[in-house]
Amino acid sequence: MDKQTVEGAKTDALALSRAENRELRKMNELLMTVIDNIRLAVYAVDEKNEIVIYNSETERTEHKMRSEMLGRDEREAYTEPFFEVWTRRIREGQKPLFQETFHFSTNNARHSVIADGLPFFFESQYAGAITISHDLRLLNEELERLGLRSRLLLASTNSAERQGFSGIVSRCDRMEKLITMARRAAVRDIPVMLTGETGTGKELFAQAIHSASIRRGPFVPINCASIPDTLLESILFGSVRGAFTGATDVPGLFEQAEGGSIFLDEIDAMAPALQAKLLRVLQEKKVRRVGGRKEITVNCRVISAGIMNTPRNLRSDLFFRLAVVLLKLPPLRERPEDVEFLARAFVEKYNDKFNVGIQEIDPPLTRLIQDYSWPGNVRELENLIECAMVFVEPRETVLSLLHVPDYYLENLNRQKPGRKGAAAGQPLRQHMQEYERQLITDTLARNSGNISQTAKELGLIRQSLQAKMKRYGINN
């Protein structure tokens, strides 16, 4: 091999090494950016027990600067033996520790966290310990600030707002069949799961099932997607005094729903670990409050709901436990005979609320709402009617396009492939693709380009939505 060839090989190897190093640096910076911006305290030590990761949430929680903590021996950095009671257990046991409450002090301040501990191995050798934790004091303050406990307690006793099946109006044969099934399921006192897109009326069905049942206790609704997992467990199952900083003896929603029904909306958003605990409650009919030792017998019916027809994120054993009866609510675009019927029902509702006297809907407006695909379903239709009714003058009797704000008209006036205007001779697959593309475009526009919210509304995961946008050439 001549000298020129050797030099060329060296140059190529050096270029490859530099490229690999650049990718490693890029990946390292990406991971550190994620670690430093999540709302969890992430802290790690190496095999010599020196602190190597101390993210911004840990700084905020412990009131210390990263610059003064990185590189220090953990045993010197904390005034209490953090190493002895936590890190040593991870190091010697070489297995994870999950959801443990831990108390320690820094700068004369007392801290209470709920933490997960993970051993880190490199080339099959112990190389450090990682701690991921929530500050329980801050979580409890957030809970109190939001007033979730007081609102949930109020919801459990407020039975005046319950609605029966008379509140569900439809001219669709498919919906009538679902109502008949729901009525029969209501009197059997068995778990019922409702699925369908957002805005299809799942909570309305849940309230009706409860009202038609033999149970006379409260109807207690909870949206599992709206509350952090660390709070959701104590809300569902309750807590005992001293379980974490600021914790008091509070009954969970399962206890509050005694003799009635608990409605777990968007249950497919529940974390897997919490699903396992919920499954045990359903099997044993008992709950154990967070921080408590005593098991409490509960007697309530569970009605659940998910966005997907078969919620993908649920454990299969939990799904079969909850879905003894499964009711799949169709979207409004699949029941066009209900659009005008529901619109007139909402007109009557807001006639009373706003003290006006609309008697009919102008034909041009009727045609527009009939041709629209309603990605937000019944909730979106009601929202439009309510908004239009705000602009009705006292003596007007016809609801027309003049009452509808421009931002609604922009949506209503868009051509909807698949209802009218589709080219003759196009195969079904092409019609469906055009319809899907338009639906994604409309939903993105309504959510101001927010991909996460659009994916949630369409019942998709974010990655699937982004793949569809790329496929259809939809720019955001």
> Which position has the token pair 């879905």?
323
Residue 3, pLDDT score: 62
Residue 144, pLDDT score: 53
Burial of 37: CB neighbours in 10 Å, binned 0-12, 13-18, 19+ = exposed
Same domain? For 278 and 188 the reply is yes
The pLDDT of 79-98, averaged and rounded, is 81
Residue 160, pLDDT score: 37
pTM: predicted TM-score of the whole model, two decimal places: 0.57
> Which position has the token pair 């009601």?
382
Residue 336, pLDDT score: 92
Same domain? For 242 and 157 the reply is yes
Same domain? For 162 and 209 the reply is yes
Same domain? For 154 and 70 the reply is no
Residue 76, pLDDT score: 84
The radius of gyration of the chain from alpha carbons, rounded to an integer in Å, stands at 28
SS3 113: strand
Assess if residue 91 is contained within a domain.
Answer: yes
Chain-centroid distance, C-alpha 418: 31
Residue 244, pLDDT score: 58
- pLDDT > 60? residue 178: yes
Range of the domain at 442: 333-472
The pLDDT of 188-207, averaged and rounded, is 92
Same domain? For 80 and 207 the reply is no
219 or 15: which carries more pLDDT confidence? 219
Instruction: Round to whole Å and give the CA distance between 348 and 76.
Output: 71
Same domain? For 80 and 53 the reply is yes
Can you give the length of the chain in residues? 476
Same domain? For 423 and 279 the reply is no
Contact 54, 77 (CB under 8 A): no
Cα distances from 14 to residues 7, 9, 64, 172, 272, in angstroms, run 10, 9, 42, 70, 46
Instruction: Round to whole Å and give the CA distance between 239 and 235.
Output: 8
Instruction: Kindly report the average pLDDT of the chain as a whole number.
Output: 82
Chain-centroid distance, C-alpha 379: 18
Burial of 310: CB neighbours in 10 Å, binned 0-12, 13-18, 19+ = middle
Q: Number of folded domains in the chain?
A: 3
CATH of the domain at 419: 1.10.8.60
Assess if residue 7 is contained within a domain.
Answer: no
Main-chain dihedrals φ then ψ at residue 426, nearest 5 degrees? -70, 140
Same domain? For 349 and 414 the reply is yes
Same domain? For 266 and 117 the reply is no
Same domain? For 326 and 337 the reply is no
Contact 113, 136 (CB under 8 A): yes
pLDDT digits (tens, 9 = 90+) for 130-166: 999 877 766 665 555 445 444 444 444 444 345 678 8
pLDDT band, very low/low/confident/very high, at 173 (cuts 50, 70, 90): very high
9 or 404: which carries more pLDDT confidence? 404
Instruction: Round to whole Å and give the CA distance between 218 and 257.
Output: 6
Same domain? For 323 and 407 the reply is no
Assess if residue 26 is contained within a domain.
Answer: yes
Assess if residue 9 is contained within a domain.
Answer: no
The pLDDT of 371-388, averaged and rounded, is 91
Same domain? For 192 and 110 the reply is no
> Which position has the token pair 């697959």?
429
